[in-house]
């Protein structure tokens, strides 16, 4: 059977990884883990984008050869996959032989849609993108960055910019553009305007969120221009087969990673991808250029493109020049791995822009993880350990208490999973966490209401029932949280009696509907989520 195939963008190695990179990959990891625990096979691909002028320039600045520079930084991205506990099945680097061969083969396959001409226009090295003149704004001499008050172009501005007197930039990304005039191969993108619009029409959920899909459609509806797909003014790229003074345009090179990683031209059975997770800034490349390239190569198109929003840092745009880049390794070091994973998935509805705030992160860690989930485990399981000899007492689920273990109890027993699964499949990760966290919140209210410490004296049988329900609730929470916080969820599951090896491998969601057995031995609990305490600097 075809596995569920999910990909991250491949990351430029001009610098070390930051929160934006960790974020898209984390979403893919959650989805891949979710699929596997649902009984499906999942193939999760990530990697690095290593060619192009931007990398060549960065290597030069670092005084290194491009390859050595790429090796150094690609290693950091690989390390990040380990540090974030990503379950990727492969990691592709575009400087690998398997990729270069595949990319050149792809070029030959689409060759009948390619012609040689001359490109004269604007190019942003930072975005590795071509821009039309009417997309540009200007800065006055002495100004930097891409302020909101940037001005429209006036007569004579493009000449002035070409003479270096003023700077032009692409307002969408803030990247500065430069004038490029060179021989170039072009892809007949214009031929694909109609086929693409027809495809969008037939596949109304091709791009998510929907608002972004509308942007894509509007762009294509204006009519596509042919796309320059080779460069001659620098060397760091994959040579165009048969004309080695050209290197393949880095975006064509990068996009084909999704197929070269799985063996193109002799692909395994993963293609087409089920989901390409990308950032909103690179939607045009994925929802317009990539499908057109695939159509030209007669290959099936990916099923879905999901665009993430962008993180700001304490309300400010994240940028190297502002010095406010968030290093995911630092977050892990300070707050813990699963705390970081939880916060990133919990804080903003996936697809929206969101703000990173240190105070919010501490609040979420302390209130949701430490006080709600951690405390529930500690109070319940600590109590059982102390008062019931570490053996789960007698009890069963019944209609009176089903709302504790199942927030959707009104829909019937076992109805948590269908809803949870629906929201994860729609990438509503914050909602999925809310379901699990909601269970913990409810269970904490229940323990306070029932006060097992009092029942111990007044009604020991009721106390046993209460403890049983609470433990089952913890088991449900542990199972549901596995894709998000795999290590901590495994700890929770060990605490409710699963053997360590089994818990570490993952407890399938099918086990949600088999309640825990009374009499299960429960080990003495160890705290899962310590409270975060600010240390004096």
Name the residues that contact ligand MSP, by CB under 6 A: 9-12, 20-21, 23-24, 49, 254-255, 257, 278-279, 281-282, 308, 310-311, 318
Q: Nearest to residue 280, comparing CAs of 309, 312, 304, 302?
A: 309
CB of 112 to ligand MSP, least distance (A): 24
Q: How far is the CB of 290 from ligand MSP (least distance, A)?
A: 8
Tokens representing residue 21 in the block: 């990179």
Instruction: Respond yes or no on whether the N-terminal peptide bond of residue 265 is cis (omega within 30° of 0).
Output: yes
Q: Is 434 exposed, middle or buried (0-12, 13-18, 19+ CB in 10 A)?
A: middle
What is the smallest separation between the CB atom of 474 and ligand MSP, expressed in angstroms?
A: 33
Task: In angstroms, give the least distance from the CB of 374 to ligand MSP.
Answer: 29
Nearest approach, Cβ of 9 to ligand MSP (angstroms)?
Answer: 4
Between residues 23 and 236, which has the closer beta carbon with respect to ligand MSP? 23
Contacts of 334 (CB under 8 A, 6+ apart): none
* Interatomic CA distance for residues 371 and 158, integer angstroms: 59
Strand residue runs (E) in 223-281: 227-228, 230-231, 239-240, 243-248, 275-279
CB of 285 to ligand MSP, least distance (A): 7
Q: Omega into 209 within 30° of 0, i.e. cis?
A: yes
Task: Name the residue nearer to ligand MSP (CB basis): 54 or 475.
Answer: 54
Tell me the C-alpha distance between 483 and 428, whole Å.
13
Nearest to ligand MSP of 10, 166 (CB atom): 10
Q: Which is nearer to ligand MSP, 254 or 331 (CB)?
A: 254
Measured between its terminal Cα atoms, the distance across the chain in Å is 55
- Judged by DSSP in three states, 489 sits in helix
In this complex, which beta carbon is closest to ligand MSP, that of residue 7 or of residue 473?
7
Angle of helix 416-425 versus helix 460-481 axis, rounded to 10: 20
| Least Cβ distance, residue 316 to ligand MSP (angstroms) | 11
Cβ at position 460, least distance to ligand MSP in Å: 53
Task: Return the number of the residue (282 or 435) whose C-beta is nearest ligand MSP.
Answer: 282
Closer by beta carbon to ligand MSP, 360 or else 403? 360
Give 104 or 257: the residue with its C-beta nearer to ligand MSP: 257
User: What CA dihedral angle connects 73, 77, 78 and 84, to 10 degrees?
Assistant: 150
Q: Which is nearer to ligand MSP, 10 or 477 (CB)?
A: 10
**In the complex, what is the shortest distance from the CB of residue 195 to ligand MSP, in angstroms, rounded to a whole number?**
21
Question: In this structure, what DSSP letter does residue 238 have?
Answer: P
Q: How far is the CB of 335 from ligand MSP (least distance, A)?
A: 18
Residue nearest to ligand MSP (CB): 279
> Closer to ligand MSP at the Cβ: 49 or 368?
49
Beta bridge partners of 521: 391
Task: Record the tokens describing residue 335, joined without a space.
Answer: 């707050």
196 CB-near residues (< 8 Å, 6+ apart): 220, 224, 288, 291, 292, 295
| Dist CA 155 CA 163 (whole Å) | 14
Cβ contacts of residue 459 below 8 Å, gap of 6+? Answer: none
């Amino acid at each position: 059977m075809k596995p569920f195939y999910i990909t991250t963008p491949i990351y430029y190695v001009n610098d070390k990884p930051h929160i934006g990179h960790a974020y898209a990959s984390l979403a893919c990891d959650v989805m891949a883990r979710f699929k596997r625990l649902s009984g499906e096979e999942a193939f999760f691909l990530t990697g690095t984008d290593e060619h192009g002028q931007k990398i060549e320039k960065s290597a030069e600045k670092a005084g290194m050869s491009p390859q050595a520079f790429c090796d150094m930084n690609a290693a950091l991205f690989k390390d990040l996959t380990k540090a974030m506990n990503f379950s990727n099945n492969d990691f592709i680097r575009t400087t690998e032989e398997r990729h270069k061969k595949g990319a050149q083969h792809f070029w030959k396959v689409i060759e009948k849609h390619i012609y040689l001409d001359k490109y004269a226009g604007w190019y942003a090295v930072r975005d590795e993108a071509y821009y039309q003149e009417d997309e540009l704004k200007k800065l006055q001499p002495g100004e930097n960055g891409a302020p909101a008050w940037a001005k429209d172009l006036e007569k004579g501005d493009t000449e002035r910019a070409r003479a270096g007197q003023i700077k032009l930039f692409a307002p969408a990304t803030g990247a500065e553009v430069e004038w490029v005039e060179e021989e170039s191969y072009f892809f007949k993108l214009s031929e694909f305007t109609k086929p693409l619009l027809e495809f969008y029409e037939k596949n109304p959920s091709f791009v998510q969120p929907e608002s972004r899909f509308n942007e894509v459609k509007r762009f294509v509806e204006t009519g596509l221009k042919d796309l320059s797909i080779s460069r001659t003014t620098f060397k760091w790229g994959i040579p165009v087969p048969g004309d080695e003074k050209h290197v393949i345009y880095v975006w064509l090179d990068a996009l084909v990673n999704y197929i070269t990683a799985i063996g193109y031209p002799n692909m395994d059975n993963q293609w087409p991808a089920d989901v390409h997770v990308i950032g909103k800034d690179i939607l045009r490349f994925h929802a317009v250029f990539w499908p057109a390239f695939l159509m030209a190569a007669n290959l099936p198109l990916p099923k879905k493109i999901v665009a993430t929003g962008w993180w700001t840092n304490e309300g400010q745009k994240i940028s190297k020049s502002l010095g406010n880049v968030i290093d995911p390794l630092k977050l892990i070091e300070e707050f813990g791995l699963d705390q970081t994973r939880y916060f990133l998935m919990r804080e903003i509805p996936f697809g929206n822009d969101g703000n990173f705030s240190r105070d919010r992160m501490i609040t979420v860690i302390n209130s949701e993880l430490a006080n709600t989930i951690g405390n529930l485990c500690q109070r319940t399981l600590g109590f059982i350990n102390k008062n019931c000899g570490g053996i789960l007492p007698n009890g069963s689920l019944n209609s009176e208490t089903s709302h504790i273990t199942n927030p959707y109890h009104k829909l019937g027993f076992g109805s948590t999973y269908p809803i949870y699964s629906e929201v994860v499949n729609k990438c509503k990760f914050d909602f999925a966490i809310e379901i699990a966290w909601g269970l913990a919140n409810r269970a904490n209210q229940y323990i306070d209401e029932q006060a097992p410490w009092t029942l111990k004296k007044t009604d020991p049988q009721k106390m046993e029932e209460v403890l049983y329900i609470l433990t089952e609730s913890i088991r449900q929470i542990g199972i549901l949280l596995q894709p998000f916080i795999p290590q901590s969820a495994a700890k929770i599951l060990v605490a409710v009696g699963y053997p360590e090896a089994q818990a570490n491998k993952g407890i399938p969601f099918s086990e949600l509907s088999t309640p825990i057995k009374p009499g299960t031995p429960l080990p003495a609990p160890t705290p899962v989520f310590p409270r975060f305490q600010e240390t004096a600097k």
